[in-house]
Structure 1
Amino acid sequence: MSPSPKPPEAGAAPARGRLAIICGGGAFPLAVAEAARRAGREVVLFPVRGFADMAVESWPHVWIPIGRFGLLKREMRRHGCTEVVFIGTALRPRIRDIRLDWTTLTLLPRVLRMLRGGDDHLLTSLGRLFEESGFRLVGAHEVAPEILIPAGQLGGVAPSAEEMDDVAVGRHALGVTGPLDIGQGLVVMNRHVVALEAAEGTDLMLARVAELRGNGRIKAPARCGVLVKRPKEGQDRRLDLPSLGTRTVEGAARAGLAGIAVEAGGVIVTDVAALVRAADRAGLFIYAFGQDEAPAP
């Protein structure tokens, strides 16, 4: 677990302390770390074994096996961390697949309750554990506001009036399903919701749409339909914002969609320019709607 920063001397640590970044997979953890460093923050990465990428080892870091909450707390305190960010992809674990330390074992009834529910329930409960342990929970978008997708049409392809109608239907549908903690994305074609994201995630949902087109279960012309993504109603945005990347654009193109619509300021992306280039190459639109735009029922 190196390189590791020298613990602060008594009275010498900055008032805010170091920023702990608990890292899942993907490029977002390093994007947030870079943004924090540009802002003058000292950071320590806590990559979760089995999920985080090896690229984290170029930063001060401590690898944490899943289920070792006691170890994580001790290491965060040892490194002078006072604030914590959760960022990156991870799959929901099964209790029998992990080795719990004593601290986590004492919390086992609570952990089991955390696992009974959707992702928002799980993450909110996890965040509460850290706050009760004296750490301040910070959203990745607060540390790195540049990862939030900007409003308006991105790229050279514009949505049609019919496609904007699909966007409105998708926004309304997600407003209904969000409080049930179901998912953050769906696909709409001709005002018909044909796929809803659940445990499989966005990429596999898009693959399912492509398969349904291929076997004739979805009968629609090419370049028809919109992927719509937005945060769930009432979710804690410090813990989980939907993300968008070039892989999603490629999946939407394979699914035969016309474009992608997301909530401006409510979806994160590591590289907007790369996203736009991929969408333009694929002939897809990307549109980021404002929260004040009223979705049609």
Structure 2
Amino acid sequence: MNDLTAIIAGRGVLPVHLARTLAAQGAPFLVAEIEGAGFAASAEPGWTVEPFALERLALLFDMLHDRGVTRVVLAGGLTRPRLEPERIDPKTAQLLPRILPALGQGDDATLRAVIALFEDEGLTVVGADAVAPDLLPAPGVQTYVQPSQADMGDADRAARIVATLGAADVGQGAVVAQGLCLAVETLPGTDAMLDWVAQVAGACRPDPNGARGVFYKAPKPEQDRRVDLPAIGPATVEAAHRAGLAGIVIEAGGVMILDAEATRARADALDLFLWVRSP
């Protein structure tokens, strides 16, 4: 691989995983860190890290071209930005009419607009799984704990709910117990949803001794899978355990597992199942 790859790095461990993968492959790369993302603290010797501000997006494009970047991968979390007008440079100001309308819509619309900007600059946008295919696990139950028939029924119900949510560009996850939807993922994200379930949802289960429920996660039906592909990790397992759930179900081929070995080990330790479910 001779193409120079730029990792557009937001928060979290995914950009670090991609950088380590490319380094292990001997593939040339640089990291463009979104201001405040915190990537630099995890950077290893020899990595090139260039910070940038969203208000100066056009200057990022100039830097990528100057360095000879041919493809980019967008990775990591990003809070919906509040742009500071006084920081916007003239070239970036010309891009705003293409971005601002999308910011008022869902995440998918915003990300599609961002992808279009990179592509118009002649850059190839690839997904994180194209750089690190190991992030997508094979179908099957990953843990020694297996889902019950009731859990499988709850997963089916949750999958239908998430498909409906995703079609409206709302969220990528839901919690279902005993056939009832206890919570759905919205803008605050997975952690906020599972924290809410931990606080109040215990009283919502009709049978206190029945199925404890599942957390189901999948990409939106029409989303561009090169960006915002959902992911889980050890912290997700911890949050599902605090919520009193029996396990986690993810769509095969559509949800990444970050630090897969640690994630499976933590699920085993907490007696939760982790099921990679075929659509």
**Shorter-chain TM-score category?**
over 0.9
Q: How far 1:35 moved relative to its partner?
A: 1.6
Alignment of 1:229-268 (within 5 A): 229-268=217-256
Q: Partner amino acid for 1:33? A: A
* Equivalence for 1:22: 8
Q: In 2 relative to 1, CA 111–155 (structure 1 residues): closer, same or farther, beyond 3 Å?
A: same
Tell me, in whole angstroms, the C-alpha distance in 2 between the residues paired with 1:201 and 1:73.
29
What percent of counterpart residues are identical?
Answer: 38
Structure 2 residue aligned with 1:65? 53
d(CA) in 1 for partners of 2:223, 2:152: 25
1:193 — aligned with what? 181
- CA displacement at 1:217 relative to structure 2: 5.0
Q: Following TM superposition, by how much is the alpha carbon of 1:220 offset from its aligned partner in structure 2, in angstroms?
A: 5.3
Q: CA shift at 1:39, angstroms? A: 2.9
- Distance in structure 2 (CA, Å) of the matches to 1:185 and 1:103: 38
Q: Distance in 2 between matches of 1:30 and 1:197?
A: 26
Question: Whole-Å Cα distance in 2 between the matches of residues 75 and 220 of structure 1?
Answer: 59
SS of corresponding position for 2:74: strand
Contact 1:149/1:266 (8 A) holds in 2: no
1:279 maps to which of 243, 267, 279 = 267
SS in 1 for 2:232: coil
Q: Note the alpha carbon deviations across 1:124-162, whole angstroms, 9 max, x for none.
A: 110010000110111110011011122100111000000
Aligned partners of 1:45 and 1:56 also within 8 Å: no
Q: What SS class does the counterpart of residue 276 from structure 2 fall into?
A: strand
- How many residues matched? 276
The structure whose residues are more often strand, as a share, is 2
Partner residue of 1:168? 156
Can you list the C-alpha shifts for 1:168-215, whole angstroms capped at 9, x where unaligned?
A: 11111111111110000010011111100001110110000011136x
CA shift, 1:96, in A, is: 4.0
For structure 2, the 5+ residue unaligned runs are none
For 2:60 and 2:142, the matched residues in 1 are separated by: 40
Give CA-to-partner distance per residue, 1:98-147, whole Å, 9 cap, x none: 83222221122222112011111111110010000110111110011011
TM-score (normalizing by structure 1) = 0.88
8 Å Cα contact 2:177/2:205 also seen in 1: no
| 2:26 aligns with one of 40, 43, 46 | 40
How well do the aligned residues superpose, as a CA RMSD in angstroms? 1.7
When the two structures are superposed, what TM-score results if normalisation uses the length of structure 2?
0.94
1:213 aligns with 201
